[in-house]
Amino acid sequence: MLDRPKTVEELFVFYDTYVKILYGSVQAENALPVEVLFEINAAFDHLSRAWIYGEAEADVVYKAHSHLKRSCLDIFKIRVKSILDQYNKLQEIDTSIIDNGDFDRKMLALAHEIKVEASAARKFEGRPASEAYEVPAFALWQPVFEKCERFEKEFFLHSKIDWAKKKHFKFTIRVFILGVLTSALVTALFEDPLGEFLKWLWSLL
């Protein structure tokens, strides 16, 4: 982990090492999430004040770094949310048919790890810097981020997902058709005789 930057050059090393890599993972259609965009914009607004208003370099770098750090923490959370959305979408199809149930077991285990570790990382935010980490929460968030990348690649984008979707669709259609046929059969067997019975009862009155 890099030490807190004190110069513009060091700030851009932090940006290139962390921010740029992280926001590339949450970009959608060339657009950054609004909360991340606000933080990055605020960072560079602070940075500009060294030249526009003559503020000390160390002061503007300190403030800019705080916003860039916050953008990273926001990205970690956004990434986790996107993975949990992917997990929920996978729950809508029958993935138990993939790899004889091994797919489901591994997917559930990884999703659980991501939830638990993300919760621990959020609680750790705000801790003061240590000798090992200028942003202590990064030490917990980075493994979570890596597991999110794994989840998307190994489960959400698994080569057999489309096959499972087709199987699930065919099963749903079959259940619907069976339901219609069953309803028609019940109607044919019981509705007409029942009607005749009621007519007979009425005739006795």
Same domain, 18 and 58: yes
Q: Is residue 2 part of a domain?
A: no
- What's residue 144's pLDDT? 96
Per-residue pLDDT for 79 more than 90? yes
pLDDT digits (tens, 9 = 90+) for 106-142: 999 999 999 999 999 998 887 766 554 567 788 899 9
| 145 and 192 share one domain | no
- Both 140 and 188 in one domain: the answer is no
- Same domain (yes/no): 153, 179: no
pTM: 0.75
Query: What is each CA distance from 52 to 47, 56, 57, 68, 173, in whole angstroms?
Result: 9, 11, 12, 20, 66
Q: How many domains does one find in the chain? A: 2
pLDDT class of 16 with cuts at 50, 70, 90 = very high
Verify that 71 and 101 share a domain, yes or no.
Answer: yes
pLDDT of residue 188: 52
Complete DSSP assignment for 148-197:
HHHHIIIIIT-TTHHHHHHHHHHHHHHHHHHHHHHHHHHIIIIIHHHHHH
Please check whether residue 41 lies inside any domain of the structure: yes
Say if residue 142 is in the same domain as residue 183: no
In a domain, 3, yes or no: no
Residue 179: band (very low, low, confident or very high) from pLDDT cuts 50, 70, 90? low
Are residues 182 and 95 part of one domain? no
Clarify whether residues 35 and 86 are in a common domain.
Answer: yes
Domain that holds residue 173: 161-205
Does residue 148 lie in a domain region? yes
Kindly state whether residue 204 falls inside one of the protein's structural domains.
Answer: yes
pLDDT at 182 over 80: no
For residue 62, the model assigns a pLDDT of 93
| Residue 117 and residue 30 share a domain | yes
Same domain for 86 and 60, yes or no, is: yes
Residues 27 and 102 in one domain: yes
Residues 118, 33 share a domain: yes
